[in-house]
Structures are given as structure tokens and as C-alpha cells.
Structure 1
Amino acid sequence: MKIIELPIEFEFNGQKNHIYPSLIILNDELTLVDTGYTNFLPLIENEILKNGYEVKNLKNIIITHYDDDHIGSLYEFKEKYPWINIIASENESKYISGEMKSERLIQAEEMLKNMPNNEVEFGKWFIQQLKNLKYVSIDEKVHDGDRLLDDKCRIIATPGHTSGHISLYFPSLNSVITGDAAVNEKQELIIANPNFCLDVDNAQQSLRKIKNLNAETYYCYHGGKFSL
């Protein structure tokens, strides 16, 4: 078993940005963790191919949480590769599948009411991005402590950024895939953008929780791999 980060470069507001979805390889079967923004499927496919793997061997997609930079291409993946097993926490699944209005959309609509005039245009754009997300049914709903991938992956509940956020712990690899429970900023693990955290106190507790695992490697979606 091994984990590979997939660096995806893209432009936003005239600036280069990166995200780092993770690819888990186990017995020639692939598991992708998070799918990037809408229309990122070809970018992720190319990175998988560059690493010498074929997307036809993609068995699972695990979603850490429902934000648009993590689930944007989920619908595209399911359409193109319908056999893929989609996994998320039970709490996140109701937002990803459209059973309930997402917490992030509610938050964005509330923030818009008090935004300075120079930010309103962006606020409206962001709300529309969230509304444009296509709903996808979750095949497997998981909870804190559940084990996946031949028991080699343990689900760690890491609420705060969103209420049902999960991270993935791999004891045999001494590694954690953090989602947005931690970002790598200048080789330091910190919580993701506090202004967007739904519960900053919970986010801090979740960060401590995954730090206390004392893993050798943390695969951060923002900032990339962090090694002690």
C-alpha cells in the first residue's frame, strides 16, 4: 500500500494555485481522495496516468467534506466511471446528495448580507458556484473509527471546517490524509481558513487530534505533503 499526492495546478484570479488530492494504491486498486473543482477530472486523470496508473482501476472515491474544491468533479467521475464506490461521512452525505441545503451555502448567504460593497460581487459568484454543484448519491456512509481498505485506513472524525469533515489515518504507513482539517503553511500544520470554519473551536480540537497521532507524513489538500 502507498499514498501518492496529485499536484493540480490551476489559475484563479490571474494567480497560480495548487491543490493536492491523494491517490491510495492497494493491491492494484486505486482510491482517490477528493476530486477538485468542477471540470478538474481531466487534470486528475492526467496526474494518475503520469504516476503510471490507469483510471480504469479506480475503485473508490473518498470525500473528506462537501466544499466545492473537494466535490466539484465528483459528478463527472461518477458519470464517466459509474462503478466507482463513493464514500463520505454520514453527516456530509446529506449535503453532497442534496438531501439538505449545505451548511456552506447557508453560511455564504448570511455573510453576503454584511459584506462590504467591494466584496459583494465575489460573494454572489461564490454562492452561484455552490448552487451549480451537481448532487451525487453516496454509496458508503462512514463514521468515526470505521475501517476501510482491508482495515488499513481508519476514519477520523475531524469536525470544525464543516460539521461532518473526516480525515484518514493509515497506521501501517504512519500517515494521515487531512482534507481541510489541516493545511501545510510554511511547513507548519494549521487549521484551514478560520473565516470559513463553521466552528473554529472544533477545528482547533480536530487539528490537535490529528497532530496527536504523531504521524510521519501528513497529506494536506492545501499546501501539499508535510513530513516530520
Structure 2
Amino acid sequence: MTMPLEIITVPCLSDNYAFLLHAPGSGMTALVDAPEAAPIKAELDKRGWGLDFVLLTHHHPDHIDAVDELREIYKPSVVGAEADAHRLPQLDVSVKEGTAYSLLGEDVQVIEVPGHTVGHIAFYLPKSNAVFTADSLMALGCGRLFEGSAAQMWQSLGKLAALPAETMVYSGHEYTQANGAFALTIEPGNSALQARVADIAKARANGVATVPSSLSLEISTNPFLRADRHEVKQAIGMEGIDSEEVFTEIRKRKDRF
């Protein structure tokens, strides 16, 4: 029987997260996103692990800047979006939605999630019950629309929301407390959201990461996933309006928040 992957959250820069995935059986290790080499190397050294794979979600510097340094030290295979190969570090494996890819003995589903950038991808590992979403679906939020449209992001979030509710969402930043403050302006009466915001305040006061979070928790509290809910439309005065338009309005409000 294959042992489950060990997943380690690695804080990087001021508010980024990278993730190490380790297979105890084979001893092989993968990294999702590479914001900063030093903390990643420190975590690997502490655990006596090498680095065999680097998976990249999108091209922004705070997700790829450490790739070359890590490649020089560990010689990992670098995996990223075929559509973004021209602006990612040199890829050893190019993937797109529908690509059959295996990592550390597990099947990986590549999900194209444009919005934050047009070439953003997420990696879903059904066996490990984990999805690595970076700056698409985030804890209590979603990424800013730097390149893609609101329509693209709404469709991307719909793909992620359709995953099993127990899936753990590994997103790319510690923005959760600020996202919670905004979410309360949309749904001040949401008791699940109120409880989550209180839990987040305690966690951050103790220096505890709020990532990962469960998809079920996001569905019950994240306003960007809830733009199709009657109670959300009612709360912001958009009853009867198309859900994509409601999402667009919520994203605009967050940009001004």
C-alpha cells in the first residue's frame, strides 16, 4: 500500500507560500512554486530531503524567482504550463488541461484557471485530496485580474468549486485575514464566515498559517465562490442578476477595499 504524501507549507518572502510534497516510500520530493530559495533549501536540509520536481502555477516573479538557484543545487525537473513556456523558467515538462501526468506515484490533474494571469494552472492530486491553486482560488479570496477577465476567473473558480468538498486548497499567499475583513462587507450575517474570521484572528496572533483550507469551508465563506447564491445577491442589491455580473461587482469592490 502506498503511503500518503507528506505536504509541508513553507513561508517565503513576506506573505508567499511554497509547498513541499514528499513521498516517504520513494524518498522523492516535489515543490509547488519557488518564491525564495533560502527557506525552501532550509526546509529540505532540515528534513534531509532532495528536490526532484518543481511545479509552477504561473509566471509572476514571486512564484518563480528561486527556480534557477534551486535547479543549480538540486537538478530538479521543472514542470509548467505549455501556454506560458515563453515566460516561465526553462521547462523540462510542459503541461496543459487534460495532460496525463504522474508525480511521486500519484496521478495529477492539470486544471487551467485563467484570470489572475491568462496562463495560470492549478495542480489537483485526487489521491492526496489536495489542489494547489496559487493565485486563482485563495483562502477567502481570489487573485486580482491582472491579465484575464472576470468571466475567465468566474469560470476558473467554478472548475475548482466542482472538486470534492473535502479537498484541501493550498493557495499561494497569507492574505486570509484581510480577505476575511472584506468578506464581512459582503455577507455580514454569514455565521460560518463570522466564526472563520474569529478563528483566523487567533491563528495569526499565534503565527499559525491559515493555508491550506478545505474547499467546503471556502464554499461556505468565500464571497468569490458564492456570487451565485441568492443570499449574496440579496445582500449586495443584485437580486435576479447573472452570477458572473455579481462576481464582477464583488471583484471590483475588493479592488477598492
Whether TM-score is above 0.5 comes out as yes
What are the equivalent positions in structure 2 for 1:69-218 lying under 5 Å apart?
69-81=62-74, 83-96=75-88, 136-146=89-99, 147-149=101-103, 150-184=105-139, 188=140, 190-194=141-145, 196-216=146-166, 217-218=168-169
User: What's the offset of the Cα at 1:201?
Assistant: 1.7
Unpaired segments ≥5 residues, structure 1:
11-16, 97-135
Structure 1 CA distance, aligned partners of 2:164 and 2:17? 21
- Seen in structure 2, the aligned counterparts of structure 1 residues 210 and 45 have a Cα distance that, compared at 3 Å, is same
Higher relative contact order (CA 8 A, sep 6+): 1
- Tell me which of 188, 201, 220 is aligned to 2:171: 220
User: What's the offset of the Cα at 1:21?
Assistant: 0.8
Structure 1 CA distance, aligned partners of 2:157 and 2:119? 14
User: Match of 2:94, as an amino acid?
Assistant: K
Structure 2 CA distance, aligned partners of 1:20 and 1:220? 7
User: What's the offset of the Cα at 1:9?
Assistant: 4.8
TM-score (norm 1): 0.69
TM-score (norm 2): 0.62
Structure 2 CA distance, aligned partners of 1:172 and 1:30? 16
Query: What secondary structure, in the 3-state scheme, does the structure 1 residue paired with 2:127 have?
Result: helix
Structure 1 match to 2:30: 31
Structure 1 CA distance, aligned partners of 2:79 and 2:136? 18
User: What's the offset of the Cα at 1:25?
Assistant: 1.5
Structure 1 CA distance, aligned partners of 2:111 and 2:6? 17
Q: Which has the larger radius of gyration?
A: 2
User: What's the offset of the Cα at 1:88?
Assistant: 0.4
Detail structure 1 runs of 4+ shifted over 3 Å in the superposition.
none
- Seen in structure 2, the aligned counterparts of structure 1 residues 87 and 204 have a Cα distance that, compared at 3 Å, is same
- Seen in structure 2, the aligned counterparts of structure 1 residues 58 and 182 have a Cα distance that, compared at 3 Å, is same
Q: Which has the higher strand share?
A: 1
- Tell me which of 55, 59, 62 is aligned to 2:52: 59
Query: What secondary structure, in the 3-state scheme, does the structure 1 residue paired with 2:118 have?
Result: coil
Contact 1:7 1:18 in 2 (8 A): no
- Tell me which of 5, 30, 41 is aligned to 1:2: 5
Report how many residues are paired: 171
Contact 1:154 1:170 in 2 (8 A): yes
Unpaired segments ≥5 residues, structure 2:
175-210, 217-257
Structure 2 match to 1:42: 38
Contact 1:161 1:200 in 2 (8 A): no
Mean Cα deviation higher: 138-147 or 40-49:
40-49
